[in-house]
Amino acid sequence: MTVRVVVVDDHELLRAGLVTVLGSDGAIEVVGEAADGPTAVRLAMDHRPDIVLMDVEMPGGDGISATRQIRATLPDTRVLILTMFDLDEYVVQGLRAGASGFLLKTTEPRGLVQAVLACAAGQSTIGPTVLARLLDGVSVRLPDRRPHPGLTELTERELDVLKAMTRGLSNAEIGHTLFLAESTVKSHVAQILAKLGVRDRLQAVVVAYRHGLD
């Protein structure tokens, strides 16, 4: 199945490069391009893509606001934020707006393609430096001592998988580390999300860190 993507960036040359990189993979189809947030929202409504690759700062409407609008209206469309800034404020705001992942614009082409495909498959994608910023940020710095009911429902193996997720490991990497089939890891992740009552891996990681599980 082809992953349909809308690319949003106000720099025309960079946007063209993103389109070229994504279009080079047969599993991805770029269905629209936008240079600002409002246009991105309109394109998302028109095309209902699987993924919106979203810049953060743009004239005429920022990517965080556009992300919030898209996620509120199109819950099946996932937003992957691409930014030059690995700053806490963007990561936390993006998370609150409903973004499913964050990558720096310095990500190499193959990594970008893999991130888009992983995001479309339901995995949260976040670059290592951005993950470090998020987990060191004020919103997750201090553990929440109130027990999370979902954590007590996790099996020992699910806890192992969740701890591996906090290290930013993919399903394949978790499987290799824990000697599990990738399909088994995927099943464990689905159970973890359901028990924690979160929509994606990134939110599960935040819950884990807030409760001192790392």
pTM, to two decimals:
0.70
8 A C-beta contact, residue 28 and residue 7: no
Residue 180: per-residue pLDDT: 93
Residue 145: per-residue pLDDT: 54
Write down all domains in the chain, each with its CATH number in brackets: 3-136 (3.40.50.2300), 149-210 (1.10.10.10)
- Give the number of other Cβ atoms within 10 Å of residue 167's Cβ: 13
Chain segment 98-150, per-residue pLDDT in tens: 888 888 788 889 889 988 998 888 776 765 556 655 655 544 444 555 667 88
Residue 153: per-residue pLDDT: 93
**Nearest residue to 61 via CA among 8, 114, 6, 17:** 8
Calpha distance 115→123 (Å, rounded): 9
Q: DSSP letter string over 158-212?
A: HHHHHHHHHTT--HHHHHHHHT--HHHHHHHHHHHHHHHT-SSHHHHHHHHHHTT
Backbone region of residue 77 per phi and psi (left: phi > 0; alpha: psi in -120 to 50; beta: other values): beta
Q: DSSP letter string over 92-127?
A: HHHHHHT-SEEEETT--HHHHHHHHHHHHTT--EE-
Ranges of residues in the chain whose predicted pLDDT is under 70: 60-61, 85-90, 124, 126-147, 214
